[in-house]
Amino acid sequence: MIKVSAIDIRCITFAEGIGGYWVNDQPAVQAGATRDGFFFKGDPVTPGFKAIREPSTAYCVTVELADGQLAYGDCVTVFNAGCAGRPRPLRAAHLPTVQEECGRLFDGKSFKGFRDAADALSGLSQESWTLPVAFGISQALLSAAALHKRVPMARVLMDEYGLTLPAAPPQFAGSCGGEWELNVDKAIARRLAMFPQSAIQTRSECEKLPDYVSWIVRRVGELAGLGYVLDLHFDFHASLGRMFGNDEDRVCDYLADIVKRAGPFKVYFEDPMLSASADEALDRMSRLRERFDSRGPHCGLIADEWANAPEEMLRFASGKAAHAIQIKVPDNGSLVTAIDAVRTCREHGILPYLGGSCNETDISARATVHVGIAFGAWRLFTKPGMGFDEGLMVMTNEMSRTFARL
């Protein structure tokens, strides 16, 4: 039975904030930009960037309800903003326009529930900030519905979509990119289901990866011993295709060596090929999946870049362009779109990897946990930040306290 409850909004306000990390001009980095400490020398190549690596901006959303309660959300982009169809970095200069538009849509309005309120986001004008803003507002609207009903956000979703509580919570996919070795030790000690992700951006990192995989396998044996079953996950951000000129034979030979080195552990490769459009990515990924499937059960393909525009998710899932899709929630705008993406993956036999970015915030990470619980995500990407511990803490604790109340 579908259950909804009215949301009465007094007003919506925005304040300038920061994301959980920085934003990167990925094409400039992959083209060989020279490191300068934490930053890079040279000019950016992607529209919307002022430097190759910049501080991130967030828009902090507050929805005040008629009874005085406050609900929060954060509007952010992903780390590698502005490429592969993703929104450009947010700018503080756009805040007055965002405030005016959103005030018109929400101030003094009443809605039948979360989904009804989120539908109002279709009234946003189509600008560079539209998807990140819809993402942040939808978090606040879900929180508002939960406050009104005095239940966890996951319960709001389960009630409005007619769902029952899953038998077990989603498992985590740990991001170890900040420290390739130290964070792997932490992931092993925490017995995460999948890691290290690693964010492989350069030729040098691609060349180091085979030995890194061998080291991970040895380290698992040293720290965990027998009985620890995990998946390995490596995100190439198209760098492997760039290095090999998209030669599928060379890419597959390279990946086959990784699978061999991984031994008993299944390996998932994310976005190994370089594409200039969604159509090209769909074609390349579909062909690569066919070759993966012929190699046996110990490797899989994850799609992310180009698959995350709201209108592309169905094409990638129905086209069997990967074994899993990382649903990058900031790129999809409203949480309703991310929810639709999880359901689309399930309908087409694709594993729904509910992901995101190191550049998110604690608030957006917590909202993602509730979506993952309600809709049974295959994996949840740990976020925000690049320190491993902090993001895992935020999401683990939110998962535990939520399950205790459902």
pLDDT digits over 304-315, tens only?
989 987 679 999
Tell me: pLDDT of 370 over 80: yes
| 171-405: CATH number | 3.20.20.120
**H or E element: which one contains 216?**
helix 203-223
- Predicted confidence at residue 137, as pLDDT, reads 98
Question: Which is the catalytic residue, given 41, 260, 320, 328?
Answer: 328
How many residues appear in the chain?
Answer: 406
pLDDT per residue as tens digits for the range 114-125: 999 999 999 999
Per-residue pLDDT at 292 exceeds 90? no
Q: Quote the pLDDT of residue 226.
A: 83
DSSP structure class, residue 346: H
Which residues fall within 8 angstroms of residue 215, CB to CB, at 6 or more apart? 181
Are the CB atoms for 311 and 342 separated by under 8 Å? no
Comparing 101 with 6, the larger pLDDT belongs to 101
Q: What percent of the chain has pLDDT over 90?
A: 89
pLDDT at residue 1 greater than cutoff 70:
no
Distance CA 116, CA 371 (A): 17
Q: How far apart are CA 243 and CA 326, in angstroms?
A: 23
CA distances (Å), origin 364, targets 15, 160, 184, 202, 268: 16, 20, 25, 29, 25
pLDDT band at 33 (very low <50, low <70, confident <90, very high): very high
Average pLDDT, the chain: 94
What pLDDT is recorded for position 311? 78
Class of domain 7-152: alpha beta
Q: Supply 385's token pair.
A: 């930040």
CA–CA distance, 105 with 124 (Å, rounded to integer): 8
What's the mean pLDDT in 40-54? Answer: 96
* pTM, rounded to two decimals: 0.95
Say what the pLDDT of residue 97 is: 97
Residue 357: which pLDDT band, with cuts at 50, 70 and 90? very high
* 143-168: b (≥16 Cβ within 10 Å) or e: bbbbbbbebbbbbbbbbbeebeebee
Active site residue 383: no
Between 239 and 297, where is the model more confident? 239
Q: DSSP assignment, residue 169? A: P
Q: How far is CA 166 from CA 1, 163, 282, 310, in A?
A: 17, 9, 32, 26
Instruction: For residues 8-27, give the mean pLDDT.
Output: 96
Q: What letter represents residue 254's amino acid? A: Y
The answer to whether residues 271 and 304 touch, using CB atoms and an 8 Å cutoff, is yes
| Least-confidence region, from 134-148, 283-297, 388-402 | 283-297
| 8 A C-beta contact, residue 26 and residue 133 | no
Which pLDDT belongs to residue 4?
64
Local confidence band at 5 (pLDDT 50, 70, 90 cut-offs) = low
Cα–Cα distance measured from residue 287 to residue 24, given in angstroms and rounded to the nearest whole number: 29
Q: List the chain domain ranges.
A: 7-152, 171-405
pLDDT-above-70 percentage for the chain: 98
Confidence grade of residue 24 (pLDDT, cut at 50, 70, 90): very high
What confidence tens digit (pLDDT) does each residue in 199-238 have? 898 999 999 999 999 999 999 999 998 889 999 999 999 9
pLDDT at residue 6, as a whole number: 81
Confidence of residue 84 (pLDDT cuts 50, 70, 90): confident
Query: Which amino acid, 359?
Result: N
